[in-house]
């Protein structure tokens, strides 16, 4: 009985730790690693061969590498290290190129390769026979068979689970965790805001791998065996089931899920007496039940038992009289990233300082992009000058969004060059360009849905101290002050746009127009030198669109360069100079709207048709 209970305790600890690792990697970071169990297996193997004596010592009946006979706790530390190191080839294989479903398949394939290798390469891993006689921790000093040892092992496993919970919670509740969640919700947007997706995914894989490795180390010291068959896809499914059922993105949910699925279903029911004549029936039914549970949750409660909790950052309440839902608020609140002139009155383009139009900040030369042989953009050259609000118009499908994406680095051109501040940035990924001050918004809704409005804004702030694993682990004392400033700045921005009341709402719950505004404010929080806006006014209340236009003009007055793709010609008339007309992937004309309206070919191509 004692043995049964302590075994359950150890399994509970081990499974909870593994689920926390998966919760951090998959639930928070959105990295679907179907090879997760491999990291647990690798950690277990590492702990085994680090604690076993050399393989010739016991008559050579099994072969393995190392055999260093290290004292406790070094094998467990080694298990975590190996789990983390193994993540590096995985990250390298998935890399920058594979995302979402493709990354998941890539990780699965990698895991399959490891599995086949381990099962069949005898000198390294003793093939399918695995390892046996793995020493228990401290077995030279203590008696592993004693009741006290058993209870102690169970208690240590559970204590370590809480320690891991503490670590992942600290990571998740930091700017680093917020950035991971942003990447999970929309990676292309996170990229365009200067977040290094490769580094974020790699860190997710390493942290999750190290945690999984530790769990494997704890397990192998208890059962004294390492059997490669024990780490199959079924176990991966069980862990995913636990995290999904417990609640994606909620670490308490992951712990609960670990108790419900692997412990309750797999371990506790292991001792149900088999049906006579049909010993496989009970295990098979277990699998059916786990499968049905996953499906039921995916169907009816995808957020799990304990849903991800909403993180409320707002320190200020909304003003009592919100007035017009979209009205830009009082002009006297400075410092929200938009100069105070924004709402004071129209700023005519002629009023702009004369020298502001002289310096070319952004330029593209002969930009071409083909999709499946069709040239969506065909030799576009444009220059954008500091402090100007340049417009791009053109019929649907003219290639406007494609040009914008190539300027920002979201899309690589088939040929042609992009120059920022006179430097060729054609080869730079979007996040590097964003860090150089080139920030874009997207034509389609691109808010981080499961971040609050305020989090959407704060997330975009460049150079946050708590945005790395190290910074996050150092804690609030390290990044808290900067975070408070960021929140304050974001609140001022929200106040200016009349959205402070929505600060703690999930961005995914807002109306289309409100989401547009959140995206623009978020881009402004990144403090861009050059802001590329893809139809920012679409779906926005006309009154607000006008206010927004004035805010952009005021921004330009301060030296920011704005490029705006827009459908609404009245907006172009009022705010943009110069304006490029795109048609069929080429620049048809450029100039002031007045001049463009006088050109027959422009009128034919766009203004009428």
Residues making contact with Mg ion (CB under 5 A): 400-401, 443
- Please report how close the Cβ of residue 404 comes to Mg ion at its closest, in angstroms: 8
| End-to-end CA separation in angstroms for the chain | 83
- Please report how close the Cβ of residue 565 comes to ligand ADP at its closest, in angstroms: 7
Contact 54, 67 (CB under 8 A): yes
Rounded Cα distance, 122 and 226, in Å: 14
Q: Please state, in angstroms and as integers, the Cα–Cα distance from residue 352 to each residue in 273, 315, 342, following that order.
A: 84, 37, 14
Element (H, E) at 450: none
> Which CB atom, from 222 or from 384, has the smaller least distance to ligand ADP?
384
Extract the tokens encoding 299: 């169907």
Q: Does residue 397 bind ligand ADP (CB under 6 A)?
A: yes
- Please report how close the Cβ of residue 320 comes to ligand ADP at its closest, in angstroms: 42
Q: Cite the DSSP H helix spans in 121-223.
A: 122-125, 147-172, 175-185, 187-192, 197-223
> Which CB atom, from 376 or from 590, has the smaller least distance to ligand ADP?
376
Element (H, E) at 595: helix 593-597
Beta pairing, strands 360-371 & 374-385: antiparallel
- Please report how close the Cβ of residue 535 comes to ligand ADP at its closest, in angstroms: 8
> Which CB atom, from 119 or from 414, has the smaller least distance to ligand ADP?
414
Q: Does residue 399 bind ligand ADP (CB under 6 A)?
A: yes
Q: What is the DSSP string of 303-322?
A: T-SSPPPP-----SPPPS--
> Which CB atom, from 313 or from 563, has the smaller least distance to Mg ion?
563
Could you say which of Mg ion, ligand ADP, none residue 302 binds, taking C-beta under 5 to 8 angstroms by partner kind?
none
Q: Does residue 262 bind ligand ADP (CB under 6 A)?
A: no
Which residues 351-380 are close enough to bind ligand ADP by CB under 6 A?
371, 376
Contact 449, 185 (CB under 8 A): yes
Contact 369, 413 (CB under 8 A): yes
Q: Does residue 394 bind ligand ADP (CB under 6 A)?
A: yes
Q: Does residue 136 bind ligand ADP (CB under 6 A)?
A: no
- Please report how close the Cβ of residue 585 comes to ligand ADP at its closest, in angstroms: 7
Which of the stretches 25-33, 232-240, 247-255, 399-407 binds ligand ADP when contact is defined by CB under 6 A? 399-407
> Which CB atom, from 380 or from 550, has the smaller least distance to ligand ADP?
380
Contact 581, 565 (CB under 8 A): no
Could you say which of ligand ADP, Mg ion, none residue 371 binds, taking C-beta under 5 to 8 angstroms by partner kind?
ligand ADP
Which single residue is written with the structure tokens 């080429």? 586
Strands (E) located in 343-428: 360-371, 374-385, 389-393, 415-420, 423-424
- Please report how close the Cβ of residue 407 comes to ligand ADP at its closest, in angstroms: 12
> Which CB atom, from 173 or from 368, has the smaller least distance to ligand ADP?
368
Q: Does residue 186 bind ligand ADP (CB under 6 A)?
A: no
Extract the tokens encoding 38: 């491999």
Residues that bind ligand ADP (CB under 6 A): 371, 376, 394, 396-402
């Amino acid at each position: 009985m004692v043995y049964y209970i302590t075994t359950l305790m150890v399994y509970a600890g081990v499974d909870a730790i593994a689920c926390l690792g998966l919760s951090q990697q998959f639930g928070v970071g959105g990295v679907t690693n179907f090879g997760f169990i491999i990291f647990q297996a690798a950690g277990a193997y590492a702990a085994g061969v680090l604690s076993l004596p050399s393989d010739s010592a016991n008559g050579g009946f099994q072969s393995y590498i190392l055999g260093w006979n290290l004292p406790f706790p070094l094998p467990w530390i080694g298990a975590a290290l190996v789990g983390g190191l193994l993540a590096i080839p995985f990250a390298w294989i998935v890399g920058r190129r594979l995302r979402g479903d493709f990354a998941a398949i890539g990780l699965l394939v990698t895991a399959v390769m490891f599995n086949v290798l381990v099962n069949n390469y005898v000198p390294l891993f003793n093939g399918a026979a695995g390892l046996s006689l793995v020493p228990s921790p401290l077995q030279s000093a203590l008696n592993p068979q004693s009741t006290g040892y058993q209870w102690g092992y169970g208690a240590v496993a559970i204590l370590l689970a809480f320690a891991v919970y503490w670590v992942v919670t600290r990571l998740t509740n930091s700017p680093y965790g917020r950035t991971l969640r942003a990447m999970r919700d929309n990676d292309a947007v996170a990229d365009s805001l200067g977040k290094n997706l490769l580094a974020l995914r790699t860190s997710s894989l390493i942290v999750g791998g190290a945690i999984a490795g530790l769990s494997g180390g704890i397990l192998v010291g208890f059962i004294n065996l390492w059997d490669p068959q024990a780490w199959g896809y079924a176990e991966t499914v069980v862990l995913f089931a636990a995290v999904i059922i417990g609640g994606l993105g909620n670490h308490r949910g992951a712990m609960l899920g670990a108790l419900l699925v692997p412990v309750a279903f797999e371990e506790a029911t292991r001792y149900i007496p088999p049906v006579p004549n049909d010993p496989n029936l009970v295990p098979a039914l277990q699998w059916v039940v786990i499968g049905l549970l996953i499906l039921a949750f995916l169907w009816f409660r995808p957020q799990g038992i304990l849903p991800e909790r909403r993180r409320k950052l707002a320190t200020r309440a909304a003003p009592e009289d919100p007035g017009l839902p979209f009205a830009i608020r009082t002009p006297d609140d400075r410092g929200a990233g938009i100069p105070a002139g924004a709402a004071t009155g129209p700023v005519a383009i002629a009023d702009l300082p004369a020298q502001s139009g002289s310096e070319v900040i952004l330029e593209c030369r002969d930009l071409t992009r083909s999709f499946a042989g069709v040239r969506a953009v065909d030799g576009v050259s444009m220059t954008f000058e500091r402090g100007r609000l340049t417009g791009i118009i053109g019929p649907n499908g003219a290639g406007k969004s494609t040009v914008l994406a190539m300027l920002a680095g979201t899309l690589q051109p088939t040929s042609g060059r992009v120059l920022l501040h006179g430097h060729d940035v054609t080869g730079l990924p979007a996040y590097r360009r964003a860090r150089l001050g080139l920030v874009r918004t997207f034509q389609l809704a691109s808010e981080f849905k499961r971040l609050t409005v305020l989090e959407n804004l704060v997330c975009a702030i460049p150079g946050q101290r708590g945005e790395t694993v190290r910074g996050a682990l150092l804690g609030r004392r390290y990044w808290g002050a900067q975070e408070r400033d960021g929140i304050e700045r974001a609140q001022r921005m929200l106040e200016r746009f009349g959205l402070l009341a929505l600060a703690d709402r999930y961005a995914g719950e807002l109306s289309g127009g409100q989401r547009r505004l959140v995206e623009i404010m978020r881009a402004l929080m990144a403090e861009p030198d050059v802001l590329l806006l893809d139809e920012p006014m679409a779906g926005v209340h006309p009154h607000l669109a006008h206010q927004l236009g004035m805010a952009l003009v005021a921004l330009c007055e301060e030296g920011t360069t704005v490029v705006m793709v827009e459908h609404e010609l009245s907006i172009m008339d009022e705010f943009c100079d110069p304006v490029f007309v795109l048609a069929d992937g080429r620049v048809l004309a450029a100039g002031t709207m007045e001049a463009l309206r006088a050109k027959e070919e422009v009128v034919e191509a766009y203004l009428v048709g």
